[in-house]
Structure 1
Amino acid sequence: MKRTLIAIGIAFITLLTGCATSQVTSEWKDPDFSGPLTHVLIISTAKETRDRRMVEDRFARMFTERGIKATTWYQASGKPEVSDINKEAVISAAKRIGADSVMVSRLVGTEEGQDYIPPRTEVSAPFDYYDRANRGFDRDYPSLYSYTQTGGYYVDYTVFKLEFNLYEMKNKELVWSILSEAFDPQSQMTLLEELTKQVSSSLEKGTLIPPQK
């Protein structure tokens, strides 16, 4: 699971009962930049090629659904290894395809934590509560209820810190950024969808992309 998260690293989360467990913890936009974005080069720095392509494809689709052209790094460069991603290569690729902006997603760190789950007492009745026709005092009493107590225990978890940065390529300046924290994701795809919504919502709020039609 950790390999998968760090691999997809650039983007992602959900957990336990399926409730969302990622949240945006930091958000910034250059107040002097208003776009528009016309062609975005999407770069994921995930370790594994398969995960990197999955992330890049999903974010490219997010932009194209809003009428903005998007090209993934693996399409623009033809180089499958994450080690091929460097400043010179990115500038060259963006210029070659005519991209006016570059979005980079990356894993910036992890934190280990532990939660204590306290003991609890569970109460159960020895009869069907709703079957009143077959209940009586002799049956219900004296064992009206039984009690079961579970001991307390510790649960380990990992927090993944994921960053998304958008650069405009004319002056090669950072114009938008968010940091999201993800808590023990259970599904790659669920996490990816959740982070995609966070990114698109922030970009829409900053008027960098139009709402999805």
Structure 2
Amino acid sequence: MRTRKNFAHHKLPPTLTIVSLAFIVYACVSSTQLTGSWKSPEATGKTYNNIVVAALTENILARQEVEKDMQNQLLQRGIKATKSIDIFPPTGATKEGPDVNLLLEKMRGADYDAVLTVALVDEETETRYVPSNVGYRPVTYFSWYGNFRRYYTYWQPILYEPGYYTEDKIYYLETNLYGVENDALVWSAQSHSHSPSSMRKAAEKLAELTINQLAKDNLIQPQIMQE
């Protein structure tokens, strides 16, 4: 049984849509995968080397951590990267966030050439049944083998575990790269994280997958770092 919660999908709207990414900080997943990417035909031959990374969330800690992971991956490849929280920190003035025109003006004035956004666009809950488990152990003589009472009392709770229902969470994320100069979508990638349990490492994995794909699609040119 699956239930899905959908989030609006926007391409850098008039005001930034705030989407909660708190799960990235508080939860890691058993698997985080990039499921697809798209590159604008007009982006051929264009690379970016001064990028702002922006997590679209009202959760300050989540925003800071997700942006830091993306920034670190870019810096490791010799690409200039700045967290959006360092350029326009949260003020709490409005729920909608700062005016997007002011953000673009500020980025253009500082010679940034692209902004990389991260957003949670969908959430799904999957209920599944975990069947009972009957274990087996090799025959070895211990004291409890001496009579039925001791044998049954020792092994019965160990060998049999009843079945149960559990819920898995699947989170669908989108990362977009926009050119700052013309405010145009250059690149987009979709990914998902399945069965969260502690998600700190998932944010790091998402950043690694995203930046690797940007390099593969020739939108950044990793530099050899000098030791």
Structure 1-normalised TM-score?
Answer: 0.77
Shift of 1:176: 1.0
Q: CA RMSD in A?
A: 3.2
Aligned counterpart, 2:115: 102
Q: Does structure 2 retain, via aligned residues, the 8 Å contact 1:10–1:46?
A: no
Aligned in 2, Cα 1:160/1:89: closer, same or farther, shift over 3 Å? Answer: farther
The answer to whether the 8 A contact 2:123-2:171 is kept is: yes
Residue type of the alignment partner of 2:36? S
Q: How far did 1:174 drift? A: 0.9
Which of the numbers 21, 34, 46 marks the counterpart of 1:7?
Answer: 21
- Classify the secondary structure of the residue corresponding to 2:125: strand
Q: Does the residue aligned with 2:136 lie in a helix, a strand or coil? A: strand
1:191 aligns with 2:202: yes
The 5 A counterparts of 1:60-99 are: 60-81=71-92, 83-99=96-112
2:185 paired residue number = 174
Q: 2:172·2:193 contact (CA, 8 Å) conserved in 1?
A: yes
In percent, how many aligned pairs have the same letter?
Answer: 24
In 2, distance between residues paired with 1:9 and 1:109?
13
Matched, 1:26 2:36: yes
How far apart are 1:117 and its partner, in Å?
1.4
- Large movers: runs of 4+ above 6 Å: 10-13
Structure 1's unaligned 5+ residue stretches are 129-133
Cα distance in 2 between the residues matched to 1:117 and 1:208: 44
Mapped contact 1:10–1:164 kept (Cα < 8 A): no
Aligned partners of 1:75, 1:47: CA distance in 2, in Å?
15
Determine the C-alpha separation between the residues in 2 that align with 1:8 and 1:206.
29
Q: Helix, strand or coil for the counterpart of 1:83?
A: coil
Residues 108 and 179 of structure 1: CA distance in aligned 2, closer, same or farther (over 3 Å): same
Contact 2:21 2:119 (C-alpha < 8 Å) held by counterparts: no
Any idea what the Cα deviations from partners look like across 1:22-69, whole Å, max 9, x if unmatched? 212221112331322121111111221122111112212222222221
TM value normalised by structure 2: 0.73
Equivalenced residue count is 196
Give the Cα separation in 2 of the matches to 1:107 and 1:12.
Answer: 14
Match of 1:115 among 122, 128, 140: 128
Q: 1:126: Cα distance to partner?
A: 4.8
